[in-house]
Amino acid sequence: MIVITARVASPQIEQYWTLLDTPGDLVRVALGFAVCLWLAVHLFILPKDPGGYRTWLYLGLALLPLSLLCAVLIW
């Protein structure tokens, strides 16, 4: 999810120095950075009960192929 978000949030222009020229790109990059940071922080928060681990295991197994497919198609 972090890779897909970073790819989608990257600016439409090639250089990061010209972000101030287009406010839309600046907002997209700032929002994408915030989402990537939020995802990275929550990646290290552990569940509080065994049911939470089981849920994340099943979701991870189900969503991993889908996220890889999305990453390949978007790239």
Tokens of 58: 């099943």
Residue, of 57 and 8, whose pLDDT is higher: 57
| DSSP, res 47 | P
Domain boundaries defined on the chain? 1-44, 47-75
Tokens of 21: 């020229």
At residue 14, does pLDDT exceed 70? no
Q: What is the pLDDT of residue 26?
A: 81
CA distances from 66 to 3, 30, 31, 62, 72 (A): 13, 26, 23, 7, 10
Q: pLDDT, tens digit, for every residue of 35-70?
A: 999 999 988 888 888 898 899 899 889 988 988 888
pTM above 0.75? no
